[in-house]
Amino acid sequence: MGSIAAWPRRRFPYRFVLHPETIGSLCFLANHGDHVRARTTAGMVLNCTDGTGEGLSYKLSRRGDGLLDRVMSHLAQLPDQGRADVGLPVTLRPFDPTGGSDERQYNAPGFNFPFGQLARTPPGAYAAYHTSLDTKEYMGIDTVLGTTCALERTLGLAELSAHYINLAPYGEPQLGRRDLYPNTNSRANEGASADHVTDGRTFLNRVLYALNYADGSHDGLAIAAKCGAPIGQMRDVIETLERAQLLRFAGGPQPIDRER
């Protein structure tokens, strides 16, 4: 299992809030709602992370367009790739204010924060929910650990899915001296992204898409869609361009606003 603290680099800061259901989130928002609005890109309520669920079940936020909403929707559309990228398939639930957990408070119209809810077995979806049968015997620590690992990998994808800025936007930069373009152009290497990489120029094409659309208005998910790649397959492209000082992380849509 990975650890966010052990990542060599974190593009976003992270805050973990532990509180009792409903009254805890209401008190937290009463005291820190303005701070959340000013400093938070997206959030996720964790509830029922164990049980018999075979994958991750994500409830969209009220807005439905937050960064994590879009990442989870992307993974749900690509179940095989989602399993490969996060270790578990992803399914979606629509936002519903009539049930669930603390996401109802974060998504109240006065806040309208893009906070979804992640579960392994959604609240109310199993017979033992809110009964005396909901015991430690029902919970499996291996399932909780699997959910935690999948969540950590999901957050890594969210960092790739945010906005980036091209640091050399006035024409295409010289890629050859950065080992991102073949030194010669001939029929013999027309499938090469670089002198040492023959891949049908897939990597090179993705580099060119990333540089062209990293304009502050297209985030990582939009760029991945432009070049027909799952977001997980854009990691090498984004990190290579960052190391080459051609791409800069610009973050998410901050601050959260009150749009309804």
Q: Taking a C-beta distance cutoff of 8 angstroms, is the pair 249, 11 a contact?
A: yes
Tell me the CATH number at 173.
1.10.10.10
Low-confidence ranges of the chain (pLDDT < 70): 1-2, 79, 81-82, 184-190, 192, 195-197, 253-260
Total domain count for the chain?
2
Q: How far apart are CA 215 and CA 163, in angstroms?
A: 8
Q: How far apart are CA 114 and CA 32, in angstroms?
A: 16
Q: Is residue 196 part of a domain?
A: yes
Three-state secondary structure call for residue 176 = helix
Residue 141 tokens read as 């620590």
Domain boundary residue, one of 132, 160, 188 = 160
Residue 2: the pLDDT is 60
Q: 142: Cβ–Cβ under 8 A, 6 or more apart, which residues?
A: none
Q: Is residue 207 part of a domain?
A: yes
Amino acid at 44: M
Q: How far apart are CA 115 and CA 60, in angstroms?
A: 8
54 in the same domain as 122? yes
Q: CA 41, 46, 49: angle at the middle one, nearest 5?
A: 145
Cα distances (Å, whole numbers) of residue 76 to 56, 83, 85, 101, 103: 9, 10, 12, 22, 20
Dihedral, CA of residue 199, residue 205, residue 206 and residue 212, to nearest 10: 170
45 in the same domain as 142? yes
Q: How far apart are CA 207 and CA 178, in angstroms?
A: 12
Residue 259: the pLDDT is 45
Residue 256: the pLDDT is 54
88 in the same domain as 20? yes
Residue 3: the pLDDT is 81
64 in the same domain as 182? no
Residues in the chain: 260
Domain boundary residue, one of 102, 131, 160 = 160
193 in the same domain as 152? no
Q: Is residue 257 part of a domain?
A: no
202 in the same domain as 114? no
Range of the domain at 131: 4-160
pTM: 0.88
Residue 257: the pLDDT is 55
How many H helices and E strands in the chain? Answer: 8, 9
Q: Taking a C-beta distance cutoff of 8 angstroms, is the pair 222, 135 a contact?
A: no
Task: Supply φ then ψ for residue 46, to 5 degrees.
Answer: -100, 125
Residue 253: the pLDDT is 63
Q: Is residue 11 part of a domain?
A: yes
130 in the same domain as 236? no
148 in the same domain as 184? no
Please choose, from the candidates 154, 14, 156, the residue with its C-alpha nearest in 3D space to the C-alpha of residue 72: 154
Q: Is residue 190 part of a domain?
A: yes
Q: Is residue 201 part of a domain?
A: yes
88 in the same domain as 13? yes
82 in the same domain as 181? no
Three-state secondary structure call for residue 118 = strand
Burial code of 50-61, b = ≥16 C-beta within 10 A, e = fewer?
bbebebbbbbbb
Q: Is residue 259 part of a domain?
A: no
Domain boundary residue, one of 125, 160, 195 = 160
170 in the same domain as 69? no
Three-state secondary structure call for residue 99 = coil
Residue 260 tokens read as 């309804």
Q: How far apart are CA 33 and CA 17, in angstroms?
A: 13
Tell me the CATH number at 95.
3.40.630.10
155 in the same domain as 178? no
Q: Is residue 151 part of a domain?
A: yes
- Note the pLDDT tens digit of each residue in 82-117: 677 888 999 999 999 998 899 999 999 999 999 999
